[in-house]
Amino acid sequence: MGYKYSGTEYANECFCGNYAATNNATDSDGNMACEGDSTQKCGAGNRISVVVDSAYSQTFFGRQSYNDWNLMGCYSDSTSKRSLPNGVSLSAFGGSNNATIANCMQACQARGFAYCGEEYYSECYGSNTPPATNKIIGDDSLAAGCNYPCKGNSTESCGGSGKIIVYSTLSNATASH
């Protein structure tokens, strides 16, 4: 499925991702035999046996920049208090089904916004006020949950559910991450 890491837990549960867990148990903790092959170990209760795909090549990215825009990071967002409060239409760029970071940044630039972001596959938002610093989730946007692919380019991130990937123009990138 294109993930760097895969793991089995509790003899028959499979999980995948592009980031390894930061907490480690001992190898002897993952001692349950796999249901499909009893000669192999498949984790245990609350223990996952993880393997890395040595042939992995990353095909999904949090775009770092576009023209004069630089990535600030992944921010939490809610419908009641948006991190970037102005919805920006992508109709001039083929609509939401053609949502990309480039199209969103161009739409924000056309409206004169200094901060711009994508959320939930295709929603573009802008503002001339930066998002609150207490809303940043992390510098690594994908690990922070801004890991939904853009509808118009499945190789780049367009935020997540309740998470917006935010960019700033170079002249306003003082809070850049």
Domain ranges of the chain: 5-52, 65-175
* Contact (Cβ atoms closer than 8 angstroms) between residue 119 and residue 160: yes
Burial of 26 (0-12, 13-18, 19+ CB in 10 A): exposed
**Please, are residues 61 and 147 in contact by the beta-carbon 8 Å criterion?**
no
User: With contact defined as beta carbons under 8 Å apart, do 44 and 13 qualify?
Assistant: no
pLDDT tens digits in sequence order for the chain, 177 residues long: 667 888 899 999 998 877 777 777 777 788 899 999 999 989 998 888 888 888 888 888 899 999 999 999 999 999 999 999 999 999 999 999 999 999 999 999 999 999 999 999 999 999 999 999 999 997 789 889 999 999 999 999 999 999 999 999 966 544 433
This prediction's pTM: 0.72
